[in-house]
């Protein structure tokens, strides 16, 4: 069953963040990740719990692959760029 990493990101340093995007995408793809949404237009319906900023959705073949990517040593290095240049909420969810 597919699993999805969903991230909501407020980019604070767009120039540097471009490097993060390129590196993260390449690593995600090695774990079977496919980007399904990457900061496209939002039509927010309700905001009782959270008001999204920039949403990214990456589909993985299964939960194990998504977790392997998210917790991999190679992504940990790249994630430092995200942490230094953006605020974000990231989670993994099982697909239906």
Summarised one tens digit per residue, pLDDT across range 42-76 is: 999 999 999 999 999 999 999 999 999 999 999 99
pLDDT at 87 over 80: yes
Residue 66 phi, psi dihedral angles, 5° rounding: -65, -45
Q: How many C-beta atoms lie closer than 10 Å to residue 56's C-beta?
A: 21
Q: Between helices 73-85 and 14-30, what is the axis angle to 10°?
A: 160
* Domain span at 41: 3-94
pLDDT at 91 over 90: yes
Say if strands 34-38 and 86-94 run parallel, antiparallel, or are unpaired: unpaired
Question: The domain spanning residue 13 has which CATH number?
Answer: 3.30.70.100
Give the chain's domain count.
Answer: 1
pTM of the model: 0.94
Distance (Å, rounded) from C-alpha 9 to C-alpha 54? 5
Distance (Å, rounded) from C-alpha 49 to C-alpha 55? 15
Distance (Å, rounded) from C-alpha 66 to C-alpha 60? 6
Average pLDDT, the chain: 96
Tokens 């120039």 correspond to 15
């Amino acid at each position: 069953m597919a699993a999805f990493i969903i991230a909501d990101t407020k980019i604070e340093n767009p120039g540097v963040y471009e490097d993060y995007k390129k590196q993260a995408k390449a690593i995600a793809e090695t774990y079977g990740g496919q980007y399904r949404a990457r900061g496209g237009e939002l039509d927010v319906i309700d905001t009782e719990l959270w008001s999204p900023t920039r949403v990214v959705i990456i589909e993985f073949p299964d939960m194990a692959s998504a977790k392997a990517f998210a917790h991999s040593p190679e992504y940990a290095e790249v994630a430092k760029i995200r942490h230094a240049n953006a605020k974000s909420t990231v989670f993994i969810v099982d697909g239906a």
